[in-house]
Structure 1
Amino acid sequence: MKKSVRLYNMIEYCNENRNFKLNDLMSEFNISRSTALRDIKEIEALG
């Protein structure tokens, strides 16, 4: 999955699932802990 698509899908996932854990994102998108943290930081930077 392209990074831009993953970030968009992560935003949608976060909006639909207000109470989630990092492990939830890791499982949903099949990504490592470091990738999940990096993606969250990028999403936060977008506002």
Structure 2
Amino acid sequence: MLLKSSLANVNEQPYHVMEKASFIDRVGADNFCANIDVALTRAASLEK
């Protein structure tokens, strides 16, 4: 089973920690969304 996830409104400091740990490279930068509305739209598009 594959789990798809988006992160919304991540603050700058945690983002940099995730960046240093290569987490963003692993999950994909396109899975980080500016806000919940964008994340929900992205999630809906992944279902199709």
Common fold: TM-score over 0.5: no
Between 1 and 2, higher relative CO (CA 8 Å, sep ≥ 6) is seen in: 2
Scaled by the length of structure 2, the TM-score of the pair is 0.24
- Higher strand proportion, which one? 2
- Higher helix proportion, which one? 1
Scaled by the length of structure 1, the TM-score of the pair is 0.24
